[in-house]
């Protein structure tokens, strides 16, 4: 098929590339000329394992190309994917100005029947807004062109997006048009070879499914963090509790790992947006508000343990931070717990040496320049360089190289042998036997 994907961010680039890999002819459109030029040269704007070779191969073989002009991508296009950003507004609701802008432009250019797909995460009712925007432009042009608007939300995990797209748990397609459903069924047929994964439903149902899925996962994280904090008060090891409840098939082990909170571009934004949707229809989403509140508090867990150990005034103290991205497998630092931790440590007068396997460039560009200029934050070239003379090691992101550290080397490097484990990666008994003080989320933290 001939496809156009508008937006070359995380969702758009993965979507366009994976469809091209299955033999479709894909044009990716973006208003950022520098980004498009970089993509033409094989320079990707995001980090995602396995994506680079796919982009290069499909571009070289002519199935994937990049442009700044939607008009150039219109000819013979059968399906348009809208994959632009929907950043949270001041009140937490999704800002649809970029989605509307794309719909407006499509309406001004559309010549033949096409399916317009909302791939971005958008509130319930957005497909109706997109349809109206396109139809208004067609009316202004005085032309009659048939089209359908479909909701096809993405369920990609950063760090595993290629696998998720190529072997999806499900493909959700919201449409009331038989013609559009058949076109989308054909498009996704190569991804359904083993068994049918496509779920057809109403447009509004599909829009809600995306928000409900992410909010459910966020709820599991906040629930286990709530339990972990209670375990700390009651002298209970949450790791045993986690295994005890996770072995129940109704609950499962996924997303019940205590830690210092969730971040990224999806969970925080989507929970907020769903709360705003509820507010707009006079429904009090009390559970979702509690999920958000627990996560906000949880991001302060490491800083609180630091102050418990070293006091409120951290002047003269230096801490080694392992992990900056919001999770392993990505350079994304949006809403990352590391940002909250750094701000709290610097406010208390501390200095930080930090290391991340992938997110160092992101940190240089996204963190406040004053942190670097004042010498409060130093990014190191190796994980053990971040421990030279520090008063404690703070684990924020559970990258694989951090999971089995050289404890003897750490003892030699660190000024004080203290480990504050914000992701419960270490066995408290082994760490203490090696001569370290240890604190984990909901672990038995007293020697």
Q: Return the active site residues.
A: 266
Q: Using CA atoms, how far apart are residues 87 and 175, in angstroms rounded to an integer?
A: 25
Contact predicate 175/194, CB 8 Å: no
Q: Using CA atoms, how far apart are residues 4 and 20, in angstroms rounded to an integer?
A: 11
Considering only CA atoms, which of 165, 152, 171 is closest in space to residue 80? 152
Radius of gyration of the CA atoms of the chain, in A: 24
- Cα torsion angle, 168, 46, 333, 358, sign: positive
Q: Residue 360 is encoded by which pair of tokens?
A: 């160092």
Q: Using CA atoms, how far apart are residues 361 and 330, in angstroms rounded to an integer?
A: 12
Q: Which residue has the tokens 């971005």?
A: 120
Q: Using CA atoms, how far apart are residues 323 and 383, in angstroms rounded to an integer?
A: 9
**Residue 40, number of CB atoms within 10 A of its CB:** 12
Q: Residue 80 is encoded by which pair of tokens?
A: 């348009």
Considering only CA atoms, which of 182, 126, 138, 161 is closest in space to residue 44? 161
- Bridge-partner residues for 393, per DSSP? 320, 419
**Residue 226, number of CB atoms within 10 A of its CB:** 17
DSSP string covering 203-264 = HHHHHHHHHHHHHHHHHHHHHHHHHHHHHHHHT--HHHHHHHHHTSTTT-STT----S---S
Q: Residue 300 is encoded by which pair of tokens?
A: 């302060």
Q: Using CA atoms, how far apart are residues 422 and 442, in angstroms rounded to an integer?
A: 10
Contact predicate 156/14, CB 8 Å: yes
Q: Using CA atoms, how far apart are residues 235 and 171, in angstroms rounded to an integer?
A: 44
């Amino acid at each position: 098929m001939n496809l156009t994907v508008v937006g070359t961010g995380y969702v758009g680039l993965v979507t366009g590339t994976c469809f091209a890999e299955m033999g479709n002819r894909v044009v990716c459109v973006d208003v950022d000329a520098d980004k498009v030029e970089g993509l033409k040269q094989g320079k990707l704007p995001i980090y995602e394992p396995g994506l680079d070779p796919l982009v290069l191969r499909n571009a070289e073989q002519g199935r994937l190309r990049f442009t700044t002009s939607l008009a150039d991508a219109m000819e013979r296009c059968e399906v348009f994917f809208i994959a632009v950003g929907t950043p949270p507004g001041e009140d937490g609701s999704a800002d649809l100005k970029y989605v509307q802008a794309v719909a407006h432009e499509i309406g001004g250019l559309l010549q033949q029947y096409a399916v317009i797909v909302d791939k971005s995460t958008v509130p319930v009712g957005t497909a109706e807004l997109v349809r109206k925007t396109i139809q208004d432009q067609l009316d202004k042009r005085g032309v009659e062109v048939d089209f359908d608007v479909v909701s096809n939300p993405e369920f990609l995990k950063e760090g595993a997006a290629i696998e998720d797209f190529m072997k999806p748990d499900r493909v959700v397609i919201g449409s009331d048009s038989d013609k559009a459903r058949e076109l989308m069924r054909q498009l996704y047929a190569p991804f359904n070879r083993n068994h049918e994964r496509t779920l057809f439903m109403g447009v509004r149902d599909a829009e809600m499914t995306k928000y409900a899925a992410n909010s459910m996962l966020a709820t599991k994280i906040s629930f286990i963090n709530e339990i972990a904090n209670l375990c700390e008060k009651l002298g209970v090891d949450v790791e045993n509790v986690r295994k005890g409840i996770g072995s129940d098939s109704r609950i499962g082990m996924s997303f019940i790992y205590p830690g210092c909170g969730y971040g990224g571009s999806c969970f925080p934004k989507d929970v907020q947006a769903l709360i705003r949707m509820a507010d707009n229809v006079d429904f009090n989403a009390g559970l979702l508000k509690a999920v958000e509140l627990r996560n906000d508090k949880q991001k302060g867990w490491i800083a609180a343990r630091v102050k418990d150990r070293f006091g409120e005034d951290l002047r003269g103290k230096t801490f080694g931070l392992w992990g900056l991205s919001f999770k392993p497998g990505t350079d994304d630092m949006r809403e990352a717990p590391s940002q909250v931790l750094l701000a709290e440590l610097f406010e208390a007068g501390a200095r930080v040496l930090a290391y991340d396997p992938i997110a160092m460039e992101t940190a240089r560009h996204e963190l406040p320049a004053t942190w670097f200029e004042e010498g409060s934050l130093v990014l190191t070239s190796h994980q053990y360089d971040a421990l030279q003379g520090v008063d404690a090691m703070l684990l924020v992101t559970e990258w694989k190289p951090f999971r089995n550290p050289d404890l003897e080397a750490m003892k030699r490097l660190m000024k004080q042998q203290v480990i504050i484990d914000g992701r419960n990666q270490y066995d408290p008994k082994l760490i203490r036997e090696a001569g370290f003080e240890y604190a984990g989320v909901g672990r038995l933290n007293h020697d």
